[in-house]
């Protein structure tokens, strides 16, 4: 029998048993994965969140199998058929398919042909045929199969003659052979070791099908079972589900398929050893049926299930890594932003948000006529000259590039130094129609909510994207084909990991962001926001214990991930856990310094230079925690995300038809798969850089070189207007542009074809000294019946200002990641944007003069 420790060592050989035991013990005590990964490194040996999750998953798998073993033993024992040998086999079998093979002969089945034959009393006939075929019995003189079978007639059960009885006995023998665990194991071994997946064109295949490359396709299962090939299986599977492909599993290529000859022969050899017996033909027939109609299809299904499991795991891993990159995209920071949600028929929706992400005002710009463009230019110029708008965020959806070009030209003509940034709309429509958006902005149209989200995404991608279900971000590899539950579980961990790695400002975070903090959840997040609203800003981490239902255990799990810049204790604005405060206070006293004086490189140097003190801290904290604490002291309040660097597409291309081979284009990686990377070059269709075109050197995994959000320089190889496909290469000799860590491999080394100098995060003195003051952040601008501007403001200014502090939010990913398109087998799965179907009365409210409320906007930003 295998115990849990042996199981974990078998499943996770790279993780020590001591580390795994620590993870399971901490989890049993109620510790969260982020807490264990960050503050219990000494116990786990420094395992990260993914490794910790693997340990937890391994235990769950072990528990599932042992529970199944217990159930099977109980069921067989009820039948009185449990032997010591069978019990030992069951308890020593930990492969689910082999375990089910052992259970199969005893499994209670629905009414089958074999069951009906047994109920009619034909089991003795089947046993006689079997025994004769194996030399265990001899027919009496003159006893033929037909005569003996005739004696088993049962007209009431439908077995009216010898032929029917022989057929019933055959059904029993088919079941007996098909349930043999040893025979199933031999077929399974051959299929998985030698099988080939074959795909062919189906009758319903469409002209110019995206699955054309699979119309005459075959690949060994051993190759497809590797993670790097999993995308091909998912593409073939999708083609089969869409009835454009037929698929099957056959033996290795050759003139004769061994699965049609050798495997049936194995069953025939087991079915009969005495070829002179009267039931030889019956036994051979039963053997062929058992193999072809029962065992082979079952093993083929197992193969497809295994292929799907591996493909799901790989696709989910790709999706999770891509989402993580987007969530950790560079934030523009707490500065006022004008967000633009491009539109053609209903115009471009514009929303202004304050430095804290608070909605200030909105309007609509119509760019389809010269008059509309003229008014839009005048409006933008006037707003920008106020001086408080620090950036313009333009959504990358329909008409996004054209809108961006117009806005960029207007900014240039205005002479104001304000960056215009394309922002991914991935998931924006999902957010704008969500309960979260309705709760935040109950009186606003869906499209305005989208513009607000676009602006906030630029300010802080993480804080805004946590409001959207992760799968809606749409940066995966066949994410719509994988297990929804497994995908959700993986992405939830990614979001939690990102939020906790960055840290959350306790006094400004929304409840959605707070709910992702270790140990908190939605209920406590709401309680924190309500307590903050009623009692004012938190002065220290310890103040959390005053929040209703906030227990000491929750405080232990959450406190280290929450930041309070306003606290009198400087450690409250670091990732140092409160359980280490006393150690640092003691160390500071020994150095004759305050804790505040330990902050910065000089303070850390003082600790390291005091050898005895440093050794004492090291012994007390442990190596991992000691180094983590010093990193936090060296850069208190540090943000692990890269510094923001503006990006711009070429200004002479807007559609696929504008592209020509050999064009050099700046782009942003939107999606990375096993077969390459998709890059947005600003033409409303992402181009594919195949894995062979990523670097001049061999690339095993594209994710070793590029990630979503990376800025790259690509060259156009080919443009297929009919299929709307773009082939790109990164073998241009140009370097990658943009932020730090762009184009770096997993080892941190610069990958050929990418790169760029690491950008410097602004020093503290370079950042805004104080947030932009917006005196009335709740202004909304509408046009009355007479065409005059109406300024609507909240009567409860104090409450609004408190809410402004509480709702500080989020921003945007620069990557356009909602379009994993490109080559055959890859589908654009985005549905229509729900905000385009907004109620007509809402849209009509938006059709006002862009200057309606401008005076109110100006006053709001200036007062």
What is the model's pLDDT at position 732? 66
Please give the structure tokens belonging to residue 686: 């992402």
For the chain, the farthest-separated pair of C-alpha atoms sits apart, in whole angstroms, at 115
Residue (of 611, 601, 586, 597) closest to 632 by Cα position:
601
* Residue 577 CA: distances (Å) to CA of 287, 555, 621, 782: 68, 10, 12, 49
What is the model's pLDDT at position 477? 62
Distance (Å, whole) CA 446 – CA 432? 5
What is the model's pLDDT at position 800? 38
Residue 468 has pLDDT above 70, yes or no: yes
Q: Are 130 and 172 in contact (CB under 8 A)?
A: no
Report the chain's mean pLDDT, rounded to a whole number.
Answer: 85
Residues 6+ apart with CB under 8 A from 151: none
- How many percent of the chain have pLDDT more than 70? 84
Pick the CATH number of 504-570 from 1.10.287.610, 3.40.640.10, 3.10.20.30, 1.10.150.310: 1.10.150.310
Place of tokens 């007996």: 176
What pTM does this model have? Answer: 0.78
Query: What is the architecture of the domain spanning 334-475+771-863?
Result: 2-Layer Sandwich (3.30)
Q: Is 811 helix (H, G, I), strand (E, B) or coil?
A: strand
β-strand 420-423 against 391-395: which pairing, if any?
A: parallel
Residue (of 249, 239, 233) closest to 302 by Cα position:
249
Lowest mean pLDDT among 307-321, 413-427, 784-798: 784-798
Q: Are 27 and 56 in contact (CB under 8 A)?
A: yes
Sign of CA dihedral 448, 454, 455, 460: positive
Average pLDDT over residues 444-471: 92
Instruction: For residue 171, name the pLDDT band (cuts at 50, 70, 90).
Output: very high
Q: What is the pLDDT of residues 40-97, one digit of tens each?
A: 999 999 999 999 999 999 999 999 999 999 999 999 999 999 999 999 999 999 999 9
Average pLDDT over residues 701-726: 90
Q: What is the pLDDT of residues 471-502, one digit of tens each?
A: 887 666 677 788 889 999 999 999 999 999 99
Which helix (H) or strand (E) segment holds residue 712: the answer is strand 711-720
Q: How many CB atoms within 10 Å of residue 497? A: 24
Average pLDDT over residues 326-353: 93
Average pLDDT over residues 754-763: 36
Average pLDDT over residues 573-588: 96
Lowest mean pLDDT among 15-24, 50-59, 344-353, 839-848: 839-848
Q: How many CB atoms within 10 Å of residue 155? A: 10
Residue (of 689, 618, 682, 597) closest to 647 by Cα position:
682
Residues 6+ apart with CB under 8 A from 21: 5
Q: Is 792 helix (H, G, I), strand (E, B) or coil?
A: strand
Strands (E) located in 354-471: 359-365, 391-395, 420-423
Q: Which residue did the predictor score with more confidence, 55 or 737? A: 55
Q: Are 558 and 548 in contact (CB under 8 A)?
A: no
What is the model's pLDDT at position 475? 64
Q: What is the DSSP letter of 750?
A: B
Q: What is the DSSP letter of 635?
A: S
Query: What is the architecture of the domain spanning 4-106?
Result: Orthogonal Bundle (1.10)
Q: Which residue did the predictor score with more confidence, 165 or 477? A: 165
State how far Cα 541 lies from the chain centre: 32
Residue 746 has pLDDT above 80, yes or no: no
- Torsions phi, psi for 498 (to 5 deg): -65, -45
What is the model's pLDDT at position 817? 34
Residues 6+ apart with CB under 8 A from 402: 342, 367, 654
Distance (Å, whole) CA 639 – CA 747? 21
Segment of 138-152, 580-594, 649-663 carrying the highest mean pLDDT:
580-594
Distance (Å, whole) CA 859 – CA 856? 5
Distance (Å, whole) CA 167 – CA 738? 75
End-to-end alpha carbon distance in the chain = 75
What is the model's pLDDT at position 534? 96
Residue (of 759, 760, 792) closest to 777 by Cα position:
792
Q: What is the pLDDT of residues 190-204, one digit of tens each?
A: 999 999 999 999 999
Please give the structure tokens belonging to residue 697: 């050197």
Residue 678 has pLDDT above 60, yes or no: yes
Please give the structure tokens belonging to residue 621: 């904290």
What is the model's pLDDT at position 482? 86
Q: Which residue did the predictor score with more confidence, 549 or 831? A: 549
Q: What is the pLDDT of residues 449-461, one digit of tens each?
A: 999 999 999 999 9
Q: If you compute the radius of gyration of the chain from its CA atoms, what whole number of angstroms results?
A: 34
Lowest mean pLDDT among 448-462, 509-523, 708-722, 723-737: 723-737
Q: Are 525 and 514 in contact (CB under 8 A)?
A: yes
Residue (of 340, 337, 332, 366) closest to 448 by Cα position:
340
Please give the structure tokens belonging to residue 184: 């199933």
What is the model's pLDDT at position 735? 47
Sign of CA dihedral 38, 43, 48, 49: negative
H-only helix segments in 3-95: 4-11, 17-28, 33-39, 41-44, 49-78, 84-91
- How many percent of the chain have pLDDT more than 90? 68
Average pLDDT over residues 312-333: 90
690 class by beta-carbon count within 10 Å (0-12 exposed, 13-18 middle, 19+ buried): middle
| Segments making up each domain of the chain, as ranges | 4-106, 334-475+771-863, 504-570, 576-636, 646-758
Instruction: For residue 839, name the pLDDT band (cuts at 50, 70, 90).
Output: very low
Q: Kindly report the CATH class assigned to 646-758.
A: mainly beta
Distance (Å, whole) CA 716 – CA 689? 9
Average pLDDT over residues 490-519: 95
Instruction: For residue 770, name the pLDDT band (cuts at 50, 70, 90).
Output: very low
Q: Are 607 and 630 in contact (CB under 8 A)?
A: yes
Instruction: For residue 424, name the pLDDT band (cuts at 50, 70, 90).
Output: confident
Average pLDDT over residues 263-289: 96
Residue 12 has pLDDT above 80, yes or no: yes
Q: Work out the angle at residue 321's Cα, subtended by the Cα atoms of residues 320 and 325, and round it to the nearest 5 degrees.
A: 115
Average pLDDT over residues 381-391: 90
Residue (of 79, 85, 14, 103) closest to 51 by Cα position:
14
Residues 6+ apart with CB under 8 A from 136: 130
Distance (Å, whole) CA 816 – CA 457? 12
């Amino acid at each position: 029998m295998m115990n849990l420790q042996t199981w974990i060592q078998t499943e996770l050989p790279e993780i020590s048993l001591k580390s795994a035991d620590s993870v399971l013990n901490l989890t049993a005590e109620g510790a969260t994965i982020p807490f264990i990964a960050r503050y219990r490194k000494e116990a786990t040996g420094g395992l990260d969140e993914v490794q910790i999750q693997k340990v937890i998953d391994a235990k769950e798998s072990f528990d599932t199998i042992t529970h199944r073993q217990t159930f099977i033993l109980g069921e067989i024992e009820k039948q009185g058929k449990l032997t010591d040998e069978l019990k030992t086999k069951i308890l020593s079998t930990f492969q689910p398919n082999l375990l089910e093979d052992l259970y199969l002969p005893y499994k209670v089945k629905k009414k089958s042909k074999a069951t009906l034959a047994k109920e009619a009393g034909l089991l003795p006939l089947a046993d006689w045929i079997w025994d004769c075929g194996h030399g265990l019995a001899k027919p009496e003189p003159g006893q033929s199969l037909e005569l003996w079978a005739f004696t088993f007639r049962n007209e009431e059960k439908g077995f009216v003659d010898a032929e029917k009885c022989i057929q019933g006995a055959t059904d029993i023998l088919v079941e007996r052979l098909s349930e043999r665990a040893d025979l199933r194991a031999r077929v399974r071994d051959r299929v998985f070791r030698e099988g080939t997946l074959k795909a062919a064109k189906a009758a319903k295949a469409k002209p110019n099908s995206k699955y054309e490359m699979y119309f005459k396709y075959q690949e060994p299962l051993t190759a497809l079972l590797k993670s790097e090939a999993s995308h091909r299986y998912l593409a073939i599977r999708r083609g089969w589900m869409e009835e454009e492909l037929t698929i099957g599993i056959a033996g290795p290529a050759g003139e004769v398929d061994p699965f049609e000859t050798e495997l049936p022969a194995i069953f025939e050899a087991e079915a009969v050893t005495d070829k002179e017996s009267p039931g030889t033909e019956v036994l051979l027939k039963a053997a062929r049926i058992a193999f072809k109609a029962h065992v082979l299809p079952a093993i083929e299904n197992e193969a497809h299930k295994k292929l799907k499991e591996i493909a799901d795991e790989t696709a989910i891993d790709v999706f999770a890594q891509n989402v993580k990159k987007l969530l950790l995209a560079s934030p523009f920071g707490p500065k006022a932003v004008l967000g633009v949600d491009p539109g053609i028929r209903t115009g471009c929706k514009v929303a202004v948000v304050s430095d804290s992400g608070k909605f200030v005002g909105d309007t609509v710009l119509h760019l389809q006529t010269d008059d509309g463009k003229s008014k839009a230019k005048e409006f933008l110029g006037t707003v920008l000259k106020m001086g408080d708008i620090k950036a313009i965020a333009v959504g990358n959806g329909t008409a996004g590039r054209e809108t961006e070009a117009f806005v960029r030209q207007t900014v240039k003509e205005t002479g104001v130094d304000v960056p215009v940034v394309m922002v991914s709309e991935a998931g924006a429509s999902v957010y704008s129609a969500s309960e979260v958006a309705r709760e935040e902005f109950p009186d606003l149209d869906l499209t305005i909510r989208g513009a607000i989200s676009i602006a906030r995404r630029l300010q802080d991608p993480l804080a805004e994207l946590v409001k959207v279900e992760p799968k809606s971000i749409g940066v995966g590899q066949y994410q719509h084909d994988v297990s929804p539950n497994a995908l959700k579980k993986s992405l939830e961990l990614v979001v939690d990991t990102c939020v906790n790695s960055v840290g959350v400002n306790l006094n400004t975070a929304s409840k959605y962001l707070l709910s992702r903090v270790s140990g908190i959840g939605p209920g406590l997040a709401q309680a924190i926001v309500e307590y903050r609203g009623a009692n004012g800003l938190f002065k220290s981490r310890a103040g959390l214990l005053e929040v209703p239902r906030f227990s000491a255990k929750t405080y232990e799990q959450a406190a280290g991930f929450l930041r309070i810049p306003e606290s009198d204790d400087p450690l409250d604005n670091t990732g140092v856990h409160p359980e280490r405060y006393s150690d640092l206070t003691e160390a500071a006293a020994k150095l004759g310094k305050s804790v505040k004086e330990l902050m910065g490189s000089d303070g850390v140097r003082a600790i390291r230079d005091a050898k005895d003190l440093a050794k004492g801290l090291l012994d007390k904290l442990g190596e991992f925690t000691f180094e983590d604490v010093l990193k936090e002291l060296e850069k208190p309040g540090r943000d692990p995300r890269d510094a923001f660097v503006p990006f711009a597409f070429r200004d002479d291309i807007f559609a696929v038809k504008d592209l020509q081979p050999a064009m050099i284009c700046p782009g942003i990686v939107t999606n990375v798969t096993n077969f390459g990377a998709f890059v947005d070059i600003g033409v409303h269709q992402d181009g594919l850089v195949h894995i062979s075109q990523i670097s001049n050197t061999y690339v095993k995994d594209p994710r070793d070189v590029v990630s979503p959000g990376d800025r790259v320089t690509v060259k156009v190889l080919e443009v297929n207007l009919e299929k709307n496909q773009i082939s790109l290469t990164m073998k241009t000799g140009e370097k990658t542009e943009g932020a730090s860590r762009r184009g770096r491999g997993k080892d941190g080394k610069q990958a050929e074809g990418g790169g760029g100098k690491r950008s410097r995060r602004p020093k503290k003195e370079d950042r805004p000294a104080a947030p932009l003051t917006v005196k009335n952040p709740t202004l909304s601008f509408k046009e009355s019946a007479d065409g005059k501007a109406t300024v609507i403001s909240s009567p409860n200014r104090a409450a609004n200002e408190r809410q402004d502090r509480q709702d500080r939010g989020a921003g945007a990913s620069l990557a356009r990641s909602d379009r994993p398109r490109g080559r055959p087998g890859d589908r654009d799965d985005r549905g229509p944007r729900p905000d385009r179907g907004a109620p007509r009365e809402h849209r009509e409210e938006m059709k006002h003069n862009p200057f309606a409320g401008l005076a109110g906007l100006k006053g709001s930003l200036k007062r």
